[in-house]
Amino acid sequence: MDAVVLDGITKTYAGGKILAVDNVSLTVKPGELFGLIGPDGAGKTSIFRMLTTLLLADKGTATVQGLDVVKDYRQIRKILGYMPGKFSLYQDLTVHENLTFFATLFGTTIEENYDIIRDIYEQLKPFSDRRAGKLSGGMKQKLALCCALIHKPEVLFLDEPTTGVDVVSRREFWDILARLKNMGITILVSTPYMDEASLCERIALIQAGSIMQIDTPDKIVHSYPVRLYAAKSANIYGLLKDMRDNAAVESCFAFGEYLHLTMKQDKGNAVADLEAFARQKGHTGIAVKEISPGIEDTFIRLMNQKNQ
């Protein structure tokens, strides 16, 4: 039995004018770390809210551990852990009080399920009498995760847990998720950061409410159908404009200090062609090479295909 199943889920807002989630179907296997990757406004939070029984879908069905999100919402609430994107614990209660409160709401105690939160809670211990509102961003995330885990959920929903968190805390957070996964908890996580996608077992690329591709990060990267080139010069913005004007270039996007390009017809000598073209346009400091694509390249390619 799959841990989470979405079947043709559609959600609109403002009386049907805004399409937030468009006919989404996906399955998450038991014990999987599944990532929902997409930019802001892609519909990630709406999907989470429907799966956590906070929002009703317009069309389609969804189950969590085989329980229907509409019919069996009461049982689902006992077995799911949810960490919303926005910090939503009581800021005027202390770390310990928040944790105790959520434990009691689920009819359990901190001691009973201490195993599951030990690694995270040990880091929070020194602040256990501090009010939640006075914690740093990373600490808040850890506390929120503790509160979502305290009743030993079977499925954990994390909505953009690393947004607004520093790089070190982000890395730590993903280490924690890997450990939780090893305990057998199914985890569904969403993130706008493409670099975090490779840390998931399987990912779904989502854009404007619909899913573009679902697979393992490796397979998604390998499914990139053409060769990808990176180019740079002293005047990167000028190069971007020139390359976009080049009839032989299919797509060209800025990626940090490099431009990523694909060719309309790749005859195998694209590196030399691009170099020659750049030189002809009067660029200096030119470097062109072939690279292996990342998740972000795939995402942009899929997004462009969809828009055409």
Partner 1 sequence: MKKLGFLLQKEFRQILRDRIILVMIFAMPTIQLIILPLAANFEVKDIKVVVVDHDHSTLTQRMLGKLGASGYFRITGAVSSYQEALHYVERNDADVVLEIPVDFERNLVREGRQQVSLSIDAINGARASIGGAYLNSIIADFSQGTDLDIVRAAHPVPAGMPVINVTYNTWYNPREQYKYYMVPGIFVLLLTLIGGFMSALNIVKEKEIGTIEQINVTPIRKWEFISGKLIPFWLMGLIIFTIGLLVAWVVYGIVSVGPLWLLYLFAAVYLVALLGFGLLISTYSANQVQAMFLAFFFMLIFMLMSGLFTATESMPGWARTISALTPVTHFVKVIRMVMLKGSGFADVQLEFLYEIAFALVLNAWAVFNYRKTS
Which residues sit opposite 261 in a β-bridge?
229, 252
DSSP assigned state of 133: G
* Contacts (CB under 8 A) with partner 1, residues 101-160: 101-102, 104-107, 147
Classify 200 as helix, strand or coil: coil
Among 29, 59, 71, 86, binds partner 1 (CB under 8 A): 86
- Between 54 and 73, how does the x/- string for binding to partner 1 read (CB under 8 A)? x-------------------
* Closer of 69 and 252 to partner 1 (Cβ): 69
Classify 30 as helix, strand or coil: coil
- Measured distance CA(127)–CA(27) in Å, rounded: 39
- Measured distance CA(126)–CA(3) in Å, rounded: 36
Minimum distance from CB of 298 to partner 1 (Å)? 32
Token pair listed for 109: 């105690």
Say whether residue 84 binds partner 1 (CB under 8 A).
yes
Token pair listed for 234: 């002293």
Minimum distance from CB of 132 to partner 1 (Å)? 10
- Measured distance CA(52)–CA(149) in Å, rounded: 14
CA of 260: how far to CAs of 38, 137, 263, in Å? 20, 34, 10
DSSP assigned state of 16: T
Among 77, 181, 227, 281, binds partner 1 (CB under 8 A): 77
DSSP line for 152-195: --SEEEEESTTTT--HHHHHHHHHHHHHHHHTT-EEEEEES-GG
Q: How many residues bind partner 1 (CB under 8 A)?
A: 25
- Between 263 and 292, how does the x/- string for binding to partner 1 read (CB under 8 A)? ------------------------------
Tokens 């009691």 belong to residue: 104
Among 87, 193, 224, 253, binds partner 1 (CB under 8 A): 87
HEC string of 88-126? CCCCCCEHHHHHHHHHHHCCCCCCCCHHHHHHHHHHHHH
Minimum distance from CB of 78 to partner 1 (Å)? 5
- Between 216 and 255, how does the x/- string for binding to partner 1 read (CB under 8 A)? ----------------------------------------
Dihedrals φ, ψ of 213, to 5°? Answer: -160, 140
Judged by CB under 8 A, the stretch of 12-20, 86-94, 225-233, 257-265 that binds partner 1 is 86-94
Minimum distance from CB of 136 to partner 1 (Å)? 18
Among 58, 97, 119, 201, binds partner 1 (CB under 8 A): 97
* Closer of 86 and 241 to partner 1 (Cβ): 86
- Between 15 and 34, how does the x/- string for binding to partner 1 read (CB under 8 A)? --------------------
Residues that bind partner 1 (CB under 8 A): 52-54, 74, 77-78, 80, 82, 84, 86-93, 97, 101-102, 104-107, 147
